[in-house]
Structure 1
């Protein structure tokens, strides 16, 4: 029962992010293409209720994620966000009038089944509320260094899969650090109130890494195909969050023979995400397909 609340709120956040993605894409598809400045595009979008609904949904999802992180382990909450991609595709089949093939549904099922198997076998435990600085410093140095190295590697490459994958992995690390710092800030808010929250360095840390993640995400989407960037983002976020949960928050997962079903679950997730990223409807959600009528899968 202790895990029920964080799991439900994490699932709500994943669903909210997926719905927000589809709503914003639906709004963008309804705006005529032109050579307007970005400010003009924003004015067009602001007049569309569906785009505003997407923004509200995104904010709601962020609140759900904050509650999930405040009440549950990082190693439980963040891996659940691998469901965003299959959820977004399922929602898109309704709101964008797309169509998901049998292969697509099989891939979505593989992601869900793999996540269930991996989390059940891992059985994460622990929910440290206060982390000493001697844990934060090396974790932040390593993660920041990894982001810089990945960005430099991406910039050395021309547009294509390698560049997109590097930006995607950098985005994943930034997302994971954002979640880890957000978790600390939520505990500070619960224990010390709003004043303590606004004066905690972790609050500004997760805002900084969150902004960096959004910037890197835009670069990842523009650098190359979705099949290269999306798996890197989805799987990288879960992996780095797992590492941060164990090293920073002293969370634990089962080892020994339990590693076998965990690896099986991870293999199913990887296969499912790779298959989903190749679908035309997945590319349509990220701007790879500008037409409204060909968002589905033949």
Structure 2
């Protein structure tokens, strides 16, 4: 759980840095222009030092995530990663010049409380191999995420950020599950390896596009939903993830509380900087995420 929380800290901070870089790299097109799978935008963004720093944090966070996934159930890691939205909100306050309201700070506390419940109740990771077809399903989902990104990029406003963030979350969710199926990273016959690469790559493309023209918290909220619920169900249904004896109810409560707190942050994340000021998404694009 410590590794999962360290991963959330890395991912949440990286999201703010990458949002700043992608907005600075945005050529100034309309809010709904472009594609959700925009490789050119990614190439422009990587020229920004903030995006590179974010990638470095993402790499470190992924290492922590893999360690966590090898030790605790997927649902516990997923809920811990939902805390990245709390990190994003807190870090975005000074970087994006937005002020967190009392409601948002309360939501941060709710996320922490849910994670504490999960830490007390989660058992060891399951050791079931799962059906062989699940590896191919993961690869199919990863391909579907990439295709859906092209359609999501045609939307406008907060809906665009939410859909692309949700797609990115599904891609990261594929990565979470695929890690459990990869014992030898050099086994090129394992479909889970390609699912991990395709899902992770598609997720980065979609998240970069979502952050370039829209709300950081809305995009991250969609990502939280995509990377928590589906992988958690897969872990419990097919991979043998379980809770400590008699504490299943506490696990469900902790998971629900943590995710609800994260989504509450997304709901209130567009609070004005001041009582009458514009919302962050209506303000000029900041030079840093």
Aligned to 2:270: 280
Structure 1 length-normalised TM: 0.69
- Contact 2:86–2:265 (CA<8 Å) still a contact in 1? no
* Within-5 A mapping of 1:192-211: 195-196=186-187, 200-211=190-201
Larger proportion of helix: 1
Q: Which runs of 5+ in 1 are unaligned?
A: 1-6, 190-194
Q: How many pairs does the alignment contain?
A: 273
**Aligned equivalents of 1:26 and 1:223: distance in 2?**
11
Displacement after TM superposition at 1:178 (Å): 1.5
- Contact 1:20–1:57 (CA<8 Å) still a contact in 2? yes
Q: Which moved more, 1:250-259 or 1:53-62?
A: 250-259
* Within-5 A mapping of 1:57-206: 57-96=57-96, 98-118=98-118, 120-121=120-121, 123-128=122-127, 130-137=129-136, 139-140=137-138, 143=141, 147=145, 158-159=155-156, 164-185=161-182, 187-189=183-185, 195-196=186-187, 200-206=190-196
- Contact 1:153–1:166 (CA<8 Å) still a contact in 2? no
Structure 2 length-normalised TM: 0.71
In structure 2, the CA distance between the partners of 1:25 and 1:161, relative to structure 1 (3 Å rule), is closer
Aligned to 2:54: 54
Displacement after TM superposition at 1:77 (Å): 1.5
Displacement after TM superposition at 1:276 (Å): 3.7
Matched, 1:19 2:13: yes
In structure 2, the CA distance between the partners of 1:238 and 1:255, relative to structure 1 (3 Å rule), is farther
Aligned to 1:234: 224
- Contact 1:113–1:265 (CA<8 Å) still a contact in 2? no
Matched, 1:10 2:4: yes
- Contact 2:124–2:241 (CA<8 Å) still a contact in 1? yes
For residues 244-292 of structure 1, what are the alpha-carbon distances to aligned partners after superposition, in whole Å with 9 as ceiling and x for unaligned? 11233121247989547734751563255234443237999x9764355
Displacement after TM superposition at 1:106 (Å): 0.9
Displacement after TM superposition at 1:79 (Å): 1.8
- Contact 2:89–2:217 (CA<8 Å) still a contact in 1? no
